[in-house]
Structure 1
Amino acid sequence: GMLMLSGGIDSPVAGYLALKRGVDIEAVHFASPPYTSPGALKKAQDLTRKLTKFGGNIQFIEVPFTEIQEEIKAKAPEAYLMTLTRRFMMRITDRIR
C-alpha cells in the first residue's frame, strides 16, 4: 500500500495500523520548498525509519512538488487550490504505485 507521509501525526499512525495488519507499505512525501521546510522532509524520513521497526523495509519516495504547486496556484481559482493540490498528490501517488 501507499502511505502519503506528511510529517504530521495522522499519516504515521495510519502507516503503523496498516503494518500491524500485515500490509507492505511505501512512504511517499511531497516536498515543496519553500512551502515546506527541509525539516518536514527530514521528519518524514525519520518517521519512515521508525515505522520500519513494525514492518521491515519501507521504501521512502520523495516527490518534488514545488513546480506543480506553483502551476496550480497560478492557474486555478483560489477556492480550489487545496482540493486540486490534494488531487494531484493522489494521482501522483497512484502512478507511483
Structure 2
Amino acid sequence: MEHFTYTNAILNRVKAKYALTSEYQLAKKLSISCGSLSSMRKGKRMLDWSTAFLCADLLEESDQNVVLGLLIDKSKKPRIINALRESWPELKD
C-alpha cells in the first residue's frame, strides 16, 4: 500500500502530468527499474537525488522545493523535520 510521502507525491505528479497509465510507464520515464519504483512507493527506499532532480525538471519545479521535500522524507529526526517545515510553511500540517 502506498503511503503519503513527498516521494510518492512527486511521483504521482509526474505520472499525472505525462498521463502515464502504469507504474511501468513511470519507471521507464524516470529510467529506473520497476522494482526500485515499487520500493519507493512502499517507503522501503527513498527517491535518490538524480531521480528527484529529473522529476523537478519534468515538472518544471524548483530544485529548492525538491530538496526540502526530499530532506523531510529522508530525515528521521523530528528536530530536523521541524526546522525544515519552519523554513517551508507549505509543509506545515
Question: TM-score normalised by the shorter chain: which range applies?
Answer: 0.3 to 0.5
Greater radius of gyration (CA)? 1
Which has the larger share of strand?
1
Q: TM-score, normalised by structure 2?
A: 0.33
Query: Which structure is higher in helix share?
Result: 2
